[in-house]
Structure 1
Amino acid sequence: MSEIDPVRLEVIRNALVAAAEEMSITIWRTSRSTVVREILDFSTAVFDAQGGNIAQSARIPVHLNSMSDCLKTVLEKYIPLESWNDGDVIVTNEPYAGGQHLPDIQTFRPVFVNGERVAIVGTLCHHVDVGGGAAGSYYAAATEIFHEGIRIPPLRLVEKGVLNSAVFEMLLYNVRQPDETRGDLNAQIAALGIGTRAVSRIAQKYGNAPLASAMAAILDGSERMMRAAIAALPDGTAHFVETVDDDGQSEEPIRLEVTITKSGEAITLDFAGSSPQVRG
């Protein structure tokens, strides 16, 4: 992979951030639910072809880089990149595939330029309801994931640009507010289209290879900056213990204990001493 000069790298980096922000604005303007439009519980991002997070919109911090783990799991265990078609949209909310909680539905679409996959764009929206034992899908009495709502394994919601209406309707049949879910999913699909066009323009302007080099340089630069920031901290160990409320199934408080060790460029977190997994 060829090197890229610093000026062009910065231009491409900002263009990719702008693409993620443009996707974000699309969701905000076209979504239906108050969770997305008013609370802004959503995120958008641009990834390289291997699933590395290159650019993300400035939205809810808890989503920062979380989509990358989900996307990499999808690529490695469910739908390999070589089987993705131009116009496909993959949807999932599976926590055990790198997702978050069930209301956070993620969608991904590949970006093709001159027949080559150059990137992937993604969205994450907190949906107002995904079924389960309580409205809003926050069920305090849950003791297993099946109480929390519908689990969506990685599926093609759109295939080669054509909506898979069977999958779409299956999702709507399992939620309490299908109109809001329909609107928010359509907003996510629309945002992916906007992101695809934006990234395609970047690749067409600078070339597929320079774009790939820029993406690799962005990841390398982020790692160097983080390692330098950690290295600048003094070596040492810190210990902390906290208790949180019970799990709703017993009155036993839940103990969280962590020992943080910083050495050189590495930070290690050891949770030994914490409570075992609880029932609720």
Structure 2
Amino acid sequence: MATAEQQISWDGVDYPYIPPRELRIHEGLALHGDADEHVDPITHEVLRHALWNVNAEHGNTIMKISGSPICAYGHDFNPAILDERGDFVFFGPFLQYLGAATGSAVKWTLEYRSENPGIHEGDVFLTNDPWVGSTHQSDVAIYAPVFYDGRLFCWVANSLHQWDMGGTAPGGFNPMAVDVFWESPCIPPVKIVEKGVMRRDIEEYYLRSSRVPKLVALDLRAGVTGCTIAVERILGLIRRYGAATVKASMRKLQDDSETAFVKRLDTIPDGTWTEEGWMEVSMPGDRGLYRNRVTLTKTGHTLTFSNKGSAPQQGTMNGVLAAWKGAVVAMLTSQMLYDQMFVIEGAMRHIEFDVEPGTISCATRPASVSGAPALILIQSIGLGGLVISKMLAESTDEALRSEVMSAMGVMAFPIVAIQGVDQRGAGYSSFLLDPVGSALSALPWRDGQDTGGWPWDLQSTMPNVEDNELFYPFLYLWRKELADSGGAGRFRGGNSAELAIVPHKTDAINLFTITSQMAVPAPGMFGGFPSSTNKYALHKGAKVQEQIGASGRMPTAQEELGGEIDWVPAKSFDRVPTPDDVFVCAWAAAAGYGDPIDREPWRVAEDVAAGRVTAAWAAKAYGVVLAADGSVSEAATEARRQSIREERLAGARAWAGEEEA
């Protein structure tokens, strides 16, 4: 960590890149800034949706070409349109935090590549350097300038998680990395396409470290083709409507989103809100907990997000500034700009980041950062959503207050990275995407959706069981939602799920794990209960094939499995399940909103009837007692709820007495 006497250079070398207010762009690069003073409303609406469709086509092109399950199901990518100086016009409707990093990459390129090697028509740039413009090394930013009449008009960009970029762990998440040199190579911005031609030397260098270079070559072409199509579509709009008109519409999009954002800020009093989470286990063998703090301060029309008070960087759980910014932006888009079609720049004009470098959420080189998206980034998204929710709860605008939400599900993604030889004799390297079926948060007016995805990815989907069994050498015993996993509350957090897999038509699977939230659950909101937690387990010698043959039925729960149970820790790299073993993974649900004993008893009865809540948990957490036929026993329920109140008061008095002593 830097001392007060040290001069920090926020240039992306050792410290993360922070763009200055005025970019230092070489005078030889001409920028197109001409815009009509006014654009008529009809033309603007046409251009607004046309530009949106450019982004949508850009994203759909990536999905069609990549073929990666990570892309198709995890939506671990996002396109963007940026203006000539790298300010955002549109995010795509996919993984929101990825878009924020591409803006940093574009601005760094304008500052440090505009002179040498230069930025020209037909160029496409690439970087996976987390200190420049990537959330971790596997999330590769690919971006292209759009030139018109010899001047740089705007940029198109995407960031896509590649199959495997090399390093000492498969799939891009390394649970044992001591520092960045254990991980995939960091590539600063380079030209992958020069004046319309793919550079073979750069492509071969790019693919050389991968375990699956042919698949990564497809990912690379998906990103480049997406940019190429987006460039063509924007040039088509310019030719049809005129450059100054298209630029005026871009400016209006940014300005209109600013107006909407400021109007909402005007309904909220100034204040400061803080939330903390805990990262678990910095390396294999460690048992520590490490604070991740997010503080939001509103002063007038400015929101300041700070990470101060977070633990120093260490082990494998660190993240970079680009990832942390993306986490905040993801929830702002969801909760405060839900009607702006992912136009974030207006809000960015009123957001400041007060960061402390050398921490787990703003790491400096050479910290290990490959695990960031699964760990510190996704937890910071959840914490960001909680501090924003606390702020919105004080708004005078009922619509904004309705956006308050409890902690989302999966505030640490349970990575199950797999590698080996598949059922066809080919090598593979990837990770399971089933926990994308996360649980949605509870709101002040409704329950969270069971396995409903994420609030910051509108199109998140779980992979089909059959597709995973086709891609990889294993079979599912089950994948099911877990009753009682969602936090109890006046409104219930969404339930999560669990899977169990058996290696099939392979000798073994090399398996790595990296996660958190196994010991410390996500907190409830305004009296709601916390969520369930993540879980890994390996049943060694379960021999389910023999069990099925003897019993005639397939096991459907962990209690029905035999063998020796190995409770796999949050960070591991030495598990090698064979066809005699069963691997189980469960992921954290969403937390509850409001006091559970304020929930209408009929809602609890419906949950029990639907299998979302068990009768035992209904009585214990909600104070709802059901009759044999499933109906609510009103007298018993009232008595049970009164008993809960008395238990709480007794506990509070005992605690206060201990404090006084």
TM superposition score normalised by structure 2: 0.41
Task: Give distance in 1, aligned partners of 2:74 and 2:287.
Answer: 33
Among candidates 183, 186, 189, match of residue 154 of structure 1: 189
After TM superposition, give the deviation of residue 78 of structure 1 in Å: 3.2
Give the stretch that moved more between structures: 41-50 or 110-119.
110-119
Match of residue 295 from structure 2: 259
After TM superposition, give the deviation of residue 82 of structure 1 in Å: 9.8
Structure with the higher helix share, 1 or 2: 1
Is 1:106–2:126 an aligned residue pair?
Answer: no
CA contact (8 A) 1:75 1:81 kept: no
Task: Give distance in 2, aligned partners of 1:89 and 1:259.
Answer: 37
Q: After superposition, give the CA deviation of every residue in 1:134-189 in whole Å (9 maximum; x if it has no partner).
A: 01121111121121201111111010111100110111111111011001111111
CA contact (8 A) 1:111 1:120 kept: yes
Match of residue 120 from structure 1: 155
Match of residue 566 from structure 2: none
Identify if the C-alpha distance between structure 1 residues 216 and 279 changes in structure 2 by more than 3 Å, giving closer, same or farther.
same
CA contact (8 A) 2:109 2:189 kept: yes
Is 1:68–2:96 an aligned residue pair?
Answer: no
Among candidates 36, 48, 64, match of residue 2 of structure 1: 36
The one-letter code sitting in structure 2 at the alignment partner of 1:55 is F
Identify if the C-alpha distance between structure 1 residues 184 and 221 changes in structure 2 by more than 3 Å, giving closer, same or farther.
same
Measured on the aligned residues, the alpha-carbon RMSD in Å equals 2.0
Identify if the C-alpha distance between structure 1 residues 224 and 165 changes in structure 2 by more than 3 Å, giving closer, same or farther.
same
Give 1:197-216 correspondences, 5 Å limit. 197-216=232-251
Give the stretch that moved more between structures: 257-266 or 164-173.
257-266
The one-letter code sitting in structure 2 at the alignment partner of 1:272 is K
Identical pairs, percent = 29
Give the SS at the match of 2:174: coil
Identify if the C-alpha distance between structure 1 residues 145 and 11 changes in structure 2 by more than 3 Å, giving closer, same or farther.
same
The one-letter code sitting in structure 1 at the alignment partner of 2:90 is A
Is 1:17–2:26 an aligned residue pair?
Answer: no
Among candidates 13, 32, 35, match of residue 67 of structure 2: 32
Q: Which has the higher contact order (CA 8 A, sep 6+)?
A: 1
Give the stretch that moved more between structures: 175-184 or 53-62.
53-62
Match of residue 171 from structure 1: 206
Among candidates 45, 56, 62, match of residue 80 of structure 2: 45
The one-letter code sitting in structure 1 at the alignment partner of 2:36 is S
CA contact (8 A) 2:79 2:99 kept: no
Aligned length: 280
TM superposition score normalised by structure 1: 0.92
Match of residue 236 from structure 1: 271
Identify if the C-alpha distance between structure 1 residues 79 and 134 changes in structure 2 by more than 3 Å, giving closer, same or farther.
farther
Match of residue 165 from structure 2: 130
Give the stretch that moved more between structures: 72-81 or 153-162.
72-81
Give the SS at the match of 2:131: helix
Give the stretch that moved more between structures: 57-66 or 20-29.
57-66
CA contact (8 A) 1:24 1:191 kept: yes
- Structure 2: which 5+ runs fail to align? 1-34, 317-661
Task: Give distance in 2, aligned partners of 1:48 and 1:66.
Answer: 15
Task: Give distance in 2, aligned partners of 1:7 and 1:63.
Answer: 32
Give the stretch that moved more between structures: 71-80 or 150-159.
71-80
After TM superposition, give the deviation of residue 81 of structure 1 in Å: 10
Among candidates 33, 54, 57, match of residue 92 of structure 2: 57
Among candidates 236, 246, 252, match of residue 281 of structure 2: 246
Q: Whose radius of gyration is greater, 1 or 2?
A: 2
After TM superposition, give the deviation of residue 64 of structure 1 in Å: 3.8
After TM superposition, give the deviation of residue 13 of structure 1 in Å: 1.6
